[in-house]
Amino acid sequence: MSNYHIKHLEEYFQVYRKSVRNPEAFWEEIAEEHFLWRKKWDKVLSWDFSKPEVTWFEGAQLNITENCIDRHLATRGEKTAIIFEPNNPEEEAQHISYYQLHDKVCRMANVLKEKGIQKGDRVCVYLPMIPELAVTILACARIGAIHSVVFAGFSSNALATRINDSDCKIVITSDGSYRGNKSIDLKGIVDKALEECPGVAHVLVAKRTKSTIEMKNGRDEWLQPLLDAAYGDCVPEIMDAEDPLFILYTSGSTGRPKGMVHTTGGYMVYTAYTFKNVFQYRENDVYWCTADIGWITGHSYIVYGPLANGATTVMFEGVPSYPDFGRFWEVIEKHKVNQFYTAPTAIRALAKQNLEFVENHDLSSLKVLGSVGEPINEEAWHWYNNNVGKKKSPIVDTWWQTETGGIMITPIPYVTPTTPTYATLPFIGIQPALMDEEGHEIMGNQVEGRLCIKFPWPSMARTIWGDHDRYRDTYFTAYKNNYFTGDGALRDAVGYYRITGRVDDVIIVSGHNLGTAPIEDAINEHPAVAESAIVGFPHDVKGNALYGYVILKETGETRDRDNLRNEINQQITEHIGPIAKLDKIQFVSGLPKTRSGKIMRRILRKIASNDVSNLGDTSTLLNPEVVQEIIDNVV
Ligand code: WT7
C-alpha cells in the first residue's frame, strides 16, 4: 500500500516531494493500486493552462460506482455504508449496508433508464438530505448520466436557471423537506421553476413529508412505486476517465452561476485519497460531515470520497439547533462518530450556547475534527478544540473550493502540527503559489499575496458547462500558467498557509459562496429600485453578512422604508434563496464611483464595517460628496 496512508511528518514531506517531482509516476501508482479500472490509461496527464486543457488518466475506463459500491460487496457487503439520521430524533436512524446501497442504486438507475435517460444526459437533483439524494447521484453515475444537484434551499428562479443552463431532461425531487420544526414545500418550488423549463419531461417525486402536493399528469410520478417495480441489478456503464461525472453550480463575481464540470477518473482518485489521509479514516470508523450534498463538500466528502474507501458515512437531514443546540453532540454520541467535519459558522453558533449542551454528551469516540468553507477565527478554533475535541482531536482546517473538487491545503491529523487559523500545508501533489499584483510569484516565507495553483491536480474542474471561455477568463487569465483561486493568503515563517479571504466580489456568508452581481440584479428588479451595491461586513456567527446600499427611483422615495427593506429581501429570496438575504439595507442618494463609472466597493466595505478612519483618497471620485452622506446615515 504505497504512500496511501501518510503516518508521520517526515513521510508527508517525502511523499510530497515525490508527488511534485514526478506527479505522473506518483498518481499512477495511487490510481493503479487502489482502484478498479476496466481499462488502464494510455497517458497519466496532459495539460496546457493557456487553453486551458487538462486530462488525467486519458484512455482509461471505469465506473465510479463499481469503485464506491460493487468492489466492497465481497468484503464489506454487510458493513454500513450510509447512516441516515433524520431531522426528528424520534424517527429511527437508518443503516444502509453496502449490499442495500447496491440494490437501491441499481433500482434507481433502472428507473432513470426507463425514463429514457442515457449516458451524457443531465439529471437535475433537487432533494433534501434523505437517502434518495445519495442514491440518485450514484444511480446517475451508474448509467453515465451527469448529475446536477441543486441545493434544496435555492429558490424556484435559481433552480430554473440551473436546469436550463445545463438542459436537464428530468428532475428528481421530494414532496417536501424538513428543517428543524419547519417543513418546506419543495415540490411547489419545482412546479414554479418548471414553468420556465420546457426541456423537462419527467419529475420523479420521493415521499418525505407526506404533504399534499399537485402532481402534473404525464409529467410527475411518485418515485417509490417505480423503485419497487425496478430490477435490483444494473450493469454499470463503462465510462472514460474524462467523461463528465457531474455539474455543480457555484456563484461567480459576475453574471450567471458557473456550472463547474467534474470528470470521473481523476475526481475519484483525488477525493478518495484525500479522504483517507485528511480524516485518517480506518476501517470501522464512523465518519460524519454535516454539509449538504447540494454543495461540493457533500459530493466529495459525504458520498464519493468515503464510499470509494468503503467507509461508513453519516447523512444528517436536520439542523444543529433542533430540537435543541445539543443535536450535533447527541448524534456524535449516538453513532459513535470518529471523524466530524463541519463549518466555522456552525461552530460559532454552537459556541454561543450554554456549554452544557456539549458537556451532556459523551464525545470520546472523536478522533479528528474538520473545518471547511470559510476562515475559522481563533476564538472558534479554540472553542472547538477545547470543548469538542477536549484538546485530544486534531483540527483539520481544510481549504478548497467547488472548482478544486477536493481538499487542497490542510493539516494531516496526527501528522502536521496545527496552528489556529492556518490551513497549514499543501496536500500531496498540490503546488500553491502566492502572486503579487503584477502577476509575479512571491518567493520565500513570511509573505502575502494572491493564491494560485501552478500545477494540475486530478480533481480540478475541467470547464464551465457550455462556456469554456468563461472558464479560461475566470481562472487562467489573471496569472499566466496558473489557476487563480480568487483567495488571498499568507505564508508564514515555517511555510504554513493562512487563507485571508476572497479578493474578488464573492462574499462567503455562513460558508456559502455568494456573488454580489446576482444579488444586485435581484434587488434592481424591484420596481422602486434604481441601483444597488452589496458588500460584506464582519458578523460574529456568519463570518460575513451582507450590507446593501440602495438608490431608490423617484417613485420609491415616498414609500415606507421598512416595507421596502422587507420587499427587497423577499425579492432576493425569490430570485436566489433565503441564504442571500441582506442583514442591513441603507438607502442612499448615490454610490461612490470612479470616473469610469465603476463602484468603489472598497469604500463601501469600509463604511459597512464601521472602519471609516482610513478611506483613502476619495477626491478622484466622480461624486466625492456622497461618501460623507453615506457615513452619516450608516445603519
Ligand atoms: C471558497 C470556496 C470547499 C468547500 C466549501 C466551499 C472559502 C473554503 C476555507 C478554509 C478559509 C475557506 C474560500 C474559497 N474557503 N474553505 N478552510 N479557510 N476559506 O466551497 O462554495 O466553492 O467556496 O470558500 O474563500 O475560495 P465554495
Confidence label for 528 from pLDDT (cuts 50, 70 and 90): very high
ipTM of the complex: 0.99
Q: Give the pLDDT score at 620.
A: 79
Residue 554's pLDDT is what? 87
> What is residue 594's predicted lDDT score, i.e. its pLDDT?
82
Pocket test for ligand 1, best of 372, 381, 395 (most atoms within 8 A of CB): 372
- Cα(413)–Cα(252) distance, integer angstroms: 32
Q: What is the dihedral of CA 253, 254, 256, 260, to 10 degrees?
A: -40
Is the C-beta atom of 380 inside 6 A of ligand 1?
no
Residue nearest to atom 23 of ligand 1 (CA): 401
Provide the pLDDT for residue 3.
Answer: 74
The conformational region for residue 548 under phi > 0 = left, psi -120 to 50 = alpha, else beta, is beta
Question: Is residue 82 packed enough to be buried (19+ CB in 10 Å), middle (13-18) or exposed (0-12)?
Answer: buried
Maximal CA-CA distance, the chain: 74
Task: Give the model's pLDDT for residue 231.
Answer: 98
Strands 202-206 and 182-184: unpaired
Q: Give phi and psi for 85, each to the nearest 5.
A: -105, 110
Question: Which numbered atom of ligand 1 lies nearest the CA of 501?
Answer: 25
Q: What is the DSSP letter of 72?
A: G
Q: Are 267 and 241 in contact (CB under 8 A)?
A: no
The arrangement of strands across the sheet holding 483-491 comes to 441-442, 432-435, 447-453, 483-491, 497-502
pTM above 0.90, yes or no: yes
* Beta carbon of 308 within 6 Å of any ligand 1 atom: no
User: Is the link from the previous residue into 592 a cis peptide, with omega within 30 of 0?
Assistant: no
Question: 136-140, 395-399, 597-601, 615-619: which range is least confident on average?
Answer: 615-619
- pLDDT, residue 2, reads 60
In short, whether 202's Cβ falls inside 6 Å of ligand 1 is: no
Mean pLDDT of 232-244: 98
Percent of the chain with pLDDT over 90: 91
DSSP conformation letters of 180-217: TTEEE-HHHHHHHHHTT-TT--EEEEE-SS-------T
Cis amide bond preceding 538, omega within 30: no
Task: Dump pLDDT digits (tens) for 74-117.
Answer: 999 999 999 999 999 999 999 999 999 999 999 999 999 999 99
Q: How far apart are CA 190 and CA 405, in angstroms?
A: 27
Rounded to the nearest angstrom, the distance between the alpha carbon of 374 and the centre of ligand 1 is 5
Separation between Cα atoms, residue 191 and residue 364, nearest integer Å: 46
**Atom of ligand 1 at shortest range from CA of 397:** 17
With a 6 A CB cut-off, is 485 part of the ligand 1 pocket? yes
With H, G, I as helix, E, B as strand and everything else as coil, classify residue 388.
helix
Q: Is 265 in the pocket of ligand 1 (CB under 6 A)?
A: no
The pLDDT of residue 505: 84
Cell numbers standing for residue 591: 454610490
* 506-632: CATH superfamily: ANL, C-terminal domain (3.30.300.30)
pLDDT at 580 over 90: yes
- Tell how far the Cα of 428 is from the centroid of ligand 1, in angstroms: 19
Segment 473-489 mean pLDDT: 96
What residue owns the CA closest to ligand 1's atom 24? 373
82 DSSP β-pair partners: 96, 313
Ligand 1, atom 8, lies closest to the CA of 373
223, 205 Cβ separation under 8 angstroms: yes
Instruction: Extract the runs of DSSP E, i.e. beta strands, from 388-431.
Output: 395-398
Whether 374 lines ligand 1, by a CB cut-off of 6 Å, is: yes
402 pocket-lining for ligand 1 (C-beta < 6 Å): yes
Q: What single DSSP character describes residue 512?
A: E
pLDDT for the residue 256: 85
Atom of ligand 1 at shortest range from CA of 291: 5
591 pLDDT exceeds 80? yes
Shortest-distance Cα residue to atom 5 of ligand 1: 373
The average pLDDT across 120-134 equals: 98
pLDDT higher at 479 or 503: 479
CA distances 595 to 211, 599, 631, Å, are 55, 10, 21
Atom of ligand 1 nearest to the CA of 402: 22
Q: Beta strands 395-398 and 146-149: pairing type?
A: unpaired
Q: With 80 as the cut, is the pLDDT of residue 1 above it? A: no
Residues 6+ apart with CB under 8 A from 453: 404, 408, 430, 431, 432, 433, 482, 483, 485
Q: What percent of the chain has pLDDT over 70?
A: 99
- 156 CA to centre of ligand 1 in angstroms: 25
Summarised one tens digit per residue, pLDDT across range 192-222 is 999 999 999 999 999 999 999 999 999 999 9
In contact, 498 and 492? CB cutoff 8 Å:
yes
**Residue 568: pLDDT above 70?**
yes
* 606 contacts 634 by C-beta, under 8 angstroms: no
Ligand 1 atom closest to residue 502's alpha carbon, by position in its atom list: 25
Residues near 352 by beta carbon (within 8 Å), at least 6 away in sequence: 541
Q: Is the CB of 398 under 6 A from ligand 1?
A: yes
Phi-psi domain of 466 (left: phi exceeds 0; alpha: psi -120 through 50; beta: other): left
Average confidence score pLDDT of the chain: 96
SS3 168: coil
Which of 9, 5, 2 is closest to 414 using CA atoms? 9
Atom of ligand 1 nearest to the CA of 403: 22
157-176: average pLDDT = 97
Q: Residue 504 half-sphere exposure, CB side, CA atoms within 13 Å?
A: 19
Cα-to-centroid distance, 476 and ligand 1 (Å): 19
**pLDDT reading at 392 higher than 50:** yes
Cβ–ligand 1 distance for 274 under 6 Å, the answer no
For a ligand 1 pocket test, name from 301, 398, 401, 419 the mutation site with the most ligand atoms within 8 angstroms of its C-beta.
401
Beta carbons of 203 and 194 less than 8 angstroms apart: yes
| CATH code of domain 9-475 | 3.40.50.12780
Task: Name every residue whose Cβ is closer than 8 Å to that of residue 97 and which is 6 or more positions away in sequence.
Answer: 77, 78, 79, 80, 81
Say if CB 320 and CB 346 are below 8 A apart: yes
- Mean pLDDT over residues 570-585, rounded? 95
pLDDT digits (tens, 9 = 90+) for 8-60: 999 999 999 999 999 999 999 999 999 999 999 999 999 999 999 999 999 99
290 lines ligand 1 (CB under 6 A): no
Check pocket membership of 399 for ligand 1, CB cut-off 6 A: yes
Say yes or no to pLDDT of 309 above 60: yes
Distance CA 313, CA 297 (A): 13
Ligand 1 centroid to Cα of residue 153, in Å, is 19
**Taking the domains of the chain in order of start, what are their residue ranges?**
9-475, 506-632
Strands (E), 375-446: 395-398, 432-435, 441-442
